[in-house]
Chains A and B, each alone.
Chain A
Amino acid sequence: MKAEKIPYTLLVVSLIVGFLLTVQIRVSRELVNAPPLERSFELTARLKNLSAEIEGLMEEKNSLSQKINLLEKGGKTAEDALLAEINKNRFWAGASIAHGPGIKVVLNNPPGFGIKSSLFNVRDEDLNNLLNELKAAGAEGISVNGQRVTAITEIRMAGSKIVVNTKAIYPPYEVLAVGDPEQLKTSLENGIIATFREWQMEVTIFKEKNIILPAYSEALEFTYAKPQEAK
Chain B
Amino acid sequence: MNKLTERLNKNRFGLLFVFFVFGIMLATQFRLTRQMPTTFSSERAVLLARQVATAEKKHKELLLEVDELRKKIANLTEEQGHLKTYQDTLVKYQILAGTVAVEGRGVEVTLDDAKKPLTVDENPNLYVIHDEDVLLVLNELRAAGAEVLGINGERVTAMTEIRCIGPTILMNKTKRIAAPFVIQAIGNPNSLRSALMMPGGVYDQLKDFVTINIKNADKIQIKAATPPDLGFLKEGDK
**Do the two shown chains form a genuine complex with each other?**
yes
**Bound-state Cα–Cα, A31 to B96, Å:** 49
B139 touches A154 (CB 8 A): yes
| Interface flag for A67 (CB, 8 Å) | yes
Is A37 within 8 A of B39, CB to CB? Answer: yes
- Would A34 and B40 count as touching, CB distance under 8 A? yes
How many A-B contacts at CB < 8 Å in the complex?
A: 300
Is A57 among interface residues, defined by CB-CB distance under 8 A? Answer: yes
In contact, B96 and A151 (Cβ under 8 angstroms): yes
B209 to chain A, nearest CB (A): 15
* Chain B residue nearest in CB terms to A21: B25
Number of interface residues of A (CB under 8 A): 103
In the complex, are the beta carbons of B147 and A61 less than 8 A apart?
no
Chain B interface main SS type: helix
A141-B233 contact in complex given A79-B83, A92-B228, A224-B147, C-beta closer than 8 Å: yes
Nearest B residue to A214, CB-CB: B237
Q: Is A222 an interface residue (CB 8 A)?
A: yes
Q: Decide if B237 touches A89 in the complex (CB within 8 Å).
A: no
B227 shortest CB reach to chain A, Å: 4
A100 touches B232 (CB 8 A): yes
For residue A1, CB closer than 8 A to chain B, the reply is no
The interface residues of chain A lying within 8 Å CB-to-CB of B90 are: 82, 85-86, 89
Chain B residues contacting A64 (CB-CB under 8 Å) are 66, 69-70, 72-73
With A20-B29, A60-B227, A79-B82 as given contacts, are A226 and B135 in contact (CB-CB < 8 Å)? no
Q: Contact size class for B?
A: 35 or more
Shortest C-beta distance, A169 to chain B (Å), equals: 14
Does B234 reach chain A (CB closer than 8 Å)?
yes
Minimal Cβ-Cβ distance residue in A for B44: A40
| Cα–Cα distance between A55 and B228 once the two chains are bound (Å) | 11
> Using a CB-CB cutoff of 8 Å, which residues 138-190 of chain A contact chain B?
139-142, 149-156, 163, 178-180
Instruction: Compute how far the CA of A34 lies from the CA of B101 in the bound complex, rounded to whole angstroms.
Output: 41
Q: Inside 8 A of B188's CB, which chain A residues have their CB? A: 223-224
Q: Are A97 and B236 in contact (CB under 8 A)?
A: yes
A50 touches B83 (CB 8 A): no
Query: A22-30, A106-114, A198-206: which one contacts chain B?
Result: A22-30
Q: Does A4 contact B (CB under 8 A)?
A: no
**B102 and A225 form a contact (CB under 8 A):** yes
Complex CA gap A94/B45 in Å reads: 40
In the bound complex, CA of A202 to CA of B91 (Å): 42
Contact A86 B86 (CB under 8 A): yes
* Given A93-B93, A129-B135; A46-B143 close (CB under 8 Å): no
Contact of A53 among B69, B73, B229 (CB under 8 A): B229
The answer to whether B126 has its CB under 8 Å from any CB of chain A is no
- Nearest CB on A from B25, distance (A): 5
Q: List 13 A-B contacts (CB under 8 A).
A: A7-B7, A7-B11, A13-B19, A37-B37, A37-B40, A58-B62, A71-B73, A82-B73, A89-B99, A99-B233, A150-B158, A156-B143, A224-B106
Beyond the given pairs A17-B21, A39-B45, 4 more chain A to chain B contacts, judged by CB atoms under 8 angstroms and listed by A's residue number, are A27-B32, A31-B36, A64-B73, A222-B91
